[in-house]
Amino acid sequence: MDGASTLLALGPALVALALVDSLSVGTLAVPVWLLLAPGRPRPGRILTYLAALALFYVGVGLVLLAGADALVATLDVDWQSPPAMRVLFLAGAALLGASFVVHPPGGSTRPGGGNPRLRRWRAAAAGADDTGRASRPRALVGLALAVGLVEVGTMLPYLAAIGLLTGTDRPFAVKALVLAGYCVVMVLPAVVLVVARRVAAPLLDPLLRRLDRWFAAHGGEALGWILGIVGVVLMGRNLPAVMELFGGV
């Protein structure tokens, strides 16, 4: 399979991972809080926040991608080979198993509102500092960078996507372009909410409030299901190599 075919084959997995990333606190909860802030929301400022967040992840991703490419070149590992794919399948199975340990089904959840960091982000998103003054665009860019720095280590779908891109033999510029597209998909649902809120606020506001309540209750407990989804994607992507192993027995 050549590099272009490999990227096309990775397309569904990358889109699925990006959509999971679009449900994080930074990519969805903060925009929802901005939309629910007192007064009339300013779409331009919310889009400024989302653009800053996407650019942050593109920049970090390029650094990680360059480092991963250098490491793969040093180790001379073919991640498209059946043995490597079987290892990745086992890694996915391990992540799926870990998801039940981190957050077992039916386990209790702690309200995310009790998390001081989430409270600070929510206050900043509401557009008020200690003096009650409205946040300026520069403050929203700072909020995007702060959220990105804290969340980047827990954005497992994002890290998995970089790993999948590393396994292709396309030029770095092509992989960088795909990474940029991935980051656009990450913030796209929030952009859709901004546009929809502008067009039909009375219809959308109940949904935004439900999302707000969900993040307040579960914002700090998402790691379990994120681990599970990444595990399922890795297993599905590398399942053919495992089936080939059993088929040859």
Could you tell me the maximum CA-CA distance found in the chain, to the nearest angstrom? 70
CA distance 7 to 169: 9
pLDDT in tens, the chain (249 residues): 555 666 677 788 899 889 988 988 889 988 988 888 776 667 888 899 999 999 999 999 999 998 887 776 666 666 667 777 777 788 878 877 776 665 545 444 444 444 566 667 777 776 643 444 445 678 888 889 988 888 887 788 888 888 888 878 788 899 999 999 999 999 999 999 999 988 888 888 888 888 888 777 665 555 566 667 777 877 877 788 778 777 654
Task: Give domain limits for the chain.
Answer: 3-244
Q: What is the pLDDT of residue 3?
A: 52
Query: pTM of the entire structure?
Result: 0.74
3-21 vs 156-166: helix axis angle to the nearest 10? 180
Q: What is the pLDDT of residue 109?
A: 44
Q: What is the pLDDT of residue 230?
A: 73
Q: What is the pLDDT of residue 235?
A: 82
Q: What is the pLDDT of residue 177?
A: 93
CA distance 5 to 80: 12
